């Protein structure tokens, strides 16, 4: 039987670290010097997630217990009526990754943007796989709407050159989100070759009955820039954002909120709606009001 000696100070003093990977109730926690420790969370403290700052205590050599999750500046998560799925904590930027192939769902972009606006964090859209020239050209026109709204829309190829992305990641803790097969992990590998993330053709991944990436992981680009790769998602539930707040998730709606005839206008079919006026005046794209209304309709109008 082997015995590993741990000084008692190591056992009792809590150490501050950051969660760089989460596997259910097991986490990898990184400390200032770069050491990474496998840790567990005991009791019902609620979930921790990549990006969380935590206090841990060592148990035996190479193991730790998470004692405290420090207050978060931001928590990105998705939710439906039954459960919440944490995505990342303390991030400063959401990077939405889409590609022309396989086809993507524009509603998911709108939902991700609304979640980012709700947390008051920056959002950036990457149109990846730009080396597939023809299909990319077709969707780029449609996505130019988001550039007109003021979001950065970067067209690039993770397989050819990710340099155009670097200035946008500088100084941020970013999380890459999007549907499966859009190339999030391929981007991570191009940015940080040592990451060596698994990537796969969408058909291969779906034949295996799962997304290629199953767990989030935080990587360091440099001292002040960090990126989290996250598993692909099909849905981005916004159950946690109430109906009144949802319109604030659509950045160009802001000047018109509060201008409708009815104070509790949900901008569906109420008379005197300022958003309907703004669409008629071509100040708001009808697609965006359509996405907003679809979101409201998907949850019923009883919630306010």
Q: Three-class SS of residue 274? A: helix
| 183 interacts with ligand GTP by CB under 6 A | yes
Closest CB 249 distance from Zn ion, rounded Å: 15
Q: How far is the CB of 164 from ligand GTP (least distance, A)?
A: 12
Find the binder of ligand GTP among 36, 40, 132, 268 (CB under 6 A): 132
| Stretch 216-245 residues interacting with ligand GTP (CB under 6 A) | 231-232
C-beta nearest to ligand GTP: residue: 232
The Cα 110–Cα 132 span in angstroms is 24
Binding site for Mg ion (CB under 5 A): 184-185, 212-213
Among 121, 188, 265, 289, binds Zn ion (CB under 5 A): 265
Q: How many residues of this chain bind ligand GTP (CB under 6 A)?
A: 24
What span, in angstroms and rounded, lies between the C-alpha atoms of 233 and 181? 10
The H helix count followed by the E strand count for the chain is 9, 13
- CB under 8 A, 24+ apart: contacts of 108-112: 108/178, 108/179, 108/233, 108/234, 108/235, 108/236, 109/146, 110/250, 110/288, 110/291, 110/292, 110/295, 111/236, 111/237, 111/238, 111/295, 112/177, 112/178, 112/236
Distance CA 291, CA 178 (A): 17
What's the sign of the alpha-carbon dihedral 153, 155, 159, 165?
Answer: negative
User: Which DSSP helix (H) or strand (E) runs through 125?
Assistant: strand 122-128
Nearer to ligand GTP, 27 or 104 (CB): 104
CA distances from 291 to 18, 44, 46, 107 (A): 36, 37, 32, 7
Which partner, Zn ion, ligand GTP, Mg ion, none, binds residue 265 by CB below 5 to 8 Å per kind?
A: Zn ion
Question: Can residue 157 be called a binding residue for ligand GTP (CB under 6 A)?
Answer: yes
Q: Report what 159 binds from Zn ion, ligand GTP, Mg ion, none; CB cut-off 5-8 Å by kind.
A: ligand GTP
What is the helix (H) or strand (E) element at residue 54, kind and residue range?
Answer: strand 53-58
Contact status, residue 43 vs residue 53, Cβ threshold 8 Å = no
The listed partner (Mg ion, Zn ion, ligand GTP, none) that binds 278, CB under 5 to 8 Å by sort, is none
**Any idea what the Cα angle at residue 220 is, between residues 215 and 222, rounded to 5°?**
165
Chosen residue from 78, 184, 226, 267 binding Zn ion by CB under 5 A = 267
Q: Which region among 15-23, 72-80, 175-183, 248-256 touches ligand GTP (by CB under 6 A)?
A: 175-183
Q: Partners of 174 in the beta sheet?
A: 93, 227
* Binding flag, residue 172, Zn ion (CB under 5 A): no
Nearer to ligand GTP, 69 or 96 (CB): 96
Shortest Å distance, C-beta 128 to ligand GTP? 5
Q: Could you say whether residue 260 binds Zn ion (CB under 5 A)? A: yes
- Least distance to ligand GTP from the beta carbon of 180, Å? 3
Residues lying near ligand GTP in the complex (CB under 6 A) are found at: 128-129, 131-132, 157-159, 178, 180-186, 199-201, 205, 211-213, 231-232
Residues lying near Zn ion in the complex (CB under 5 A) are found at: 260, 265, 267, 273, 275
């Amino acid at each position: 039987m082997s015995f590993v000696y741990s000084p008692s100070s190591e056992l009792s003093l809590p150490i501050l670290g950051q969660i760089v990977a989460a596997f259910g109730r097991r986490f990898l926690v990184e400390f200032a010097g770069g050491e990474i420790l496998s840790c567990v969370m005991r009791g019902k403290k609620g979930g921790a997630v990549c990006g969380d700052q935590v206090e841990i205590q060592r148990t035996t050599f190479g193991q730790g217990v998470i004692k405290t999750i420090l207050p978060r500046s931001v928590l990105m998560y998705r939710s439906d009526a039954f459960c919440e799925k944490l995505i990342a904590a303390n991030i400063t930027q959401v990077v939405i990754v889409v590609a022309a192939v396989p086809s993507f769902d524009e509603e998911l972009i709108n939902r991700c943007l609304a979640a980012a606006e709700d947390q008051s964090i920056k959002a950036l859209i990457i149109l990846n796989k730009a080396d597939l020239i023809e299909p990319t050209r077709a969707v780029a026109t449609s996505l130019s709407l988001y550039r007109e709204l003021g979001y950065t829309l970067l067209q690039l190829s993770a397989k050819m050159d990710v340099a155009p992305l670097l200035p946008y990641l500088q100084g941020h803790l970013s999380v890459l989100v999007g549907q499966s097969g859009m190339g999030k992990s391929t981007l991570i590998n191009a940015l940080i070759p040592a990451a060596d993330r698994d990537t796969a053709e969408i058909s291969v991944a779906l034949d295996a009955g799962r997304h290629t990436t199953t767990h989030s992981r935080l990587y360091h680009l440099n001292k002040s820039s960090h990126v989290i790769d996250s598993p692909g998602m099909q849905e981005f539930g916004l159950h946690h954002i109430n109906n009144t707040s949802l319109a604030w998730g659509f950045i160009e709606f802001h000047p018109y909120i509060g201008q409708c005839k009815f104070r509790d206008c949900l901008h569906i079919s109420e008379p005197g709606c300022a958003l309907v006026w703004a669409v008629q005046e071509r100040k708001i794209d009808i697609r965006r009001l359509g996405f907003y209304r679809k979101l409201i309709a998907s949850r019923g109008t009883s919630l306010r």
